[in-house]
Amino acid sequence: MADLPDDVDKRVKRIVSAILEVPVEEIRDEHYFVEDLDAESIQSVELMAAFEEEFDIELDEQEAMAVKTVGGAVDFIRKCMQEQKS
């Protein structure tokens, strides 16, 4: 079954909530991981690993670390899913 656009969004926010210990209802697309959600560098690595596992994709580490916002992560994951399913 294909992932619905808001399904990816909800799953990303659920992962961010679990790793950064922020209530999921407080996470917004425009939030920056470091500035708004207080992510530390080790948590960035944890997020990347969790996204790879959740979506069964492989993220380019350099590109993934350049993503700064929750919405950016959603868009990046969607792009990777599209590229890797073909």
Helix (H, G, I), strand (E, B) or coil at 32: strand
Confidence at residue 3, expressed as pLDDT on a 0 to 100 scale? 56
The tens digit of pLDDT for each residue in 8-30 reads: 999 999 999 999 999 999 999 99
The tens digit of pLDDT for each residue in 63-85 reads: 998 999 999 999 999 999 999 97
Dihedral-angle region of residue 57 (phi above 0 means left; psi in -120 to 50 means alpha; beta otherwise): beta
What is the rounded distance in angstroms from the CA atom of residue 73 to the CA atom of residue 66? Answer: 10
List the domain boundaries for the chain: 5-85
Q: Give the CATH H-level superfamily of domain 5-85.
A: ACP-like (1.10.1200.10)
